[in-house]
Structure 1
Amino acid sequence: MENLNKYVSIYKEQLEQGDILIAYNELVKFVMKLRTDFIKNLSDQYSFAKILHGYMDYTYFYYSNNFLKSKQLKLGLVLNHLEMRFEVWLLGTTISNQKKYWEIMKMTKWNKYKTEMPQYSILEATLVENPDFNNLNALAEQIETKMIKVSNEILDYLKTL
C-alpha cells in the first residue's frame, strides 16, 4: 500500500461524519438479534456460536448440529457488507476438509457459476439480495425462513453423499 496515511485520513473523515458508525453498529446489533432469536427458535435443530466480525466486510455466526459436526462441517449466517446481503455459507472445520467438500459440491446448484472455490467457504447461498432495513421484523422473519429452507437443502444434499 503506497499511501496508508491518505486512506487513514479518508477513513477518519468518514467516521467523523458519523453515518458509517451508525450504520455499522445497527447492522451488527441486527445480526446479534438474529442470533438471539435463532437460539430461541431453532436450538432444537442447531447450536449457535458467537458473533464474529470481519474487517468491516462480513459479520457472521456459525451454526451446526451433530450431523455437520460428524462431517467436520458447519454453516454460517453471513451479512456480506460489500454486497449488502444475507447469505448462508457451508464451511469445513479444516482447510483440507473444506477443499474435499468443494470438490464434491463444486457442480451443485450453489456453485454452478463458480470456477474456483470461494475464499472462505465451500458454498455461498444468497438468502436476501436487497434487504429492507426499514422493517427489521419482516427482514428477520424473511432471513429465518430462508435460512431454514437453504440449510435443510444443504443438509439433505450432504446426507446423500
Structure 2
Amino acid sequence: MKNLNYYVAVYKEQLDKGDILIAYNQLVNFVMKLRVNFIKSLSDQYSFTGILHGYMDYTYFYYSNAFLKSKKLKLGLVLNHSEMRFEIWLLGNTITNQKKYWNLLKTSKWNKDKKEMPKYSVLEAILMNEPDFDNLPLLSQNIEKALIKSSDEIIKAIKTLN
C-alpha cells in the first residue's frame, strides 16, 4: 500500500477537476429525491428514515413497516457507488437478529450463491444493475416499481418462515 500522502494527493487532484464532486452530489441528491417521492407515494405501506452517507461507498435510507418492526428487521434502499447500482438490503436491528435471519434465509434465492452472510445485511438484492441517469424521472419510476416488487417478495419470504 502506498502512503497516505499519495492517496490524499490523488483525492485532491480528482476534487480539483470537479467531476467527481459533481457526480457524488448529484447521486446523493437523486437518492434524497427518491426518498421524498417514496414518502409521498408509499407512506401508507412504509415509514422511512433519513439519508445516510457511507464513505463514498454507499448512500442509503431505511424503510420498514409494522410487520418488519415486529421481527426487528428493516429494509434499505442502497446506492452502491462502487458497483453503481441500486440494491435493496434486509437488515436486522441487532447482529444477533441478523445472524438469525441469515440462517433462515441463507438458502433463499437472494443468498443461495453466498457462502457467508453479507458484511452489513441479511440479504442484498439488485434492483437496478445499470441505471440510466440521463432520464431521472423514468429511473425513479423504475426503481419504485422494483422496490415495491422486491420488498413484497422479501416480506412474503419472511412470513413463510414463521
Structure 1 and Structure 2 fold alike (TM over 0.5): yes
CA-based RMSD of the aligned residues comes to 0.7
Aligned equivalents of 2:77, 2:103: Cα separation in 1? 22
Q: Match for 2:128: what amino acid?
A: V
Q: Match for 2:21: what amino acid?
A: L
Instruction: Give the match's secondary structure for 2:146.
Output: helix
Instruction: Give the match's secondary structure for 2:61.
Output: strand
State the Cα distance separating 1:141 from its structure 2 match.
Answer: 0.3
State the Cα distance separating 1:119 from its structure 2 match.
Answer: 0.2
Q: How does 1:10-89 map to 2 (within 5 A)?
A: 10-89=10-89
Q: Deviations for 1:24-80, whole angstroms, at most 9, x for unmatched residues?
A: 000000000000000000000000000000000000000000100000000000000
Map of 2:147 onto structure 1: 147
Unaligned runs of 5+ in 1: none
State the Cα distance separating 1:4 from its structure 2 match.
Answer: 0.4
Identity over aligned pairs, percent: 71
Aligned equivalents of 2:19, 2:52: Cα separation in 1? 22
State the Cα distance separating 1:87 from its structure 2 match.
Answer: 0.3
Q: Deviations for 1:120-144, whole angstroms, at most 9, x for unmatched residues?
A: 0000000000000000000000000
Instruction: Give the match's secondary structure for 2:51.
Output: strand
State the Cα distance separating 1:160 from its structure 2 match.
Answer: 1.1
Aligned equivalents of 1:52, 1:157: Cα separation in 2? 27
State the Cα distance separating 1:113 from its structure 2 match.
Answer: 1.1
Map of 1:94 onto structure 2: 94
Map of 1:116 onto structure 2: 116
Which runs of 4 or more aligned residues in structure 1 lie more than 4 Å from their structure 2 counterparts after TM superposition?
A: none
Number of aligned residues: 161
Unaligned runs of 5+ in 2: none
Q: Match for 1:129: what amino acid?
A: N
Aligned equivalents of 1:95, 1:20: Cα separation in 2? 34
Aligned equivalents of 2:60, 2:70: Cα separation in 1? 22
State the Cα distance separating 1:2 from its structure 2 match.
Answer: 5.0
Aligned equivalents of 1:2, 1:42: Cα separation in 2? 47
Instruction: Give the match's secondary structure for 2:55.
Output: coil
Q: Match for 1:93: what amino acid?
A: N
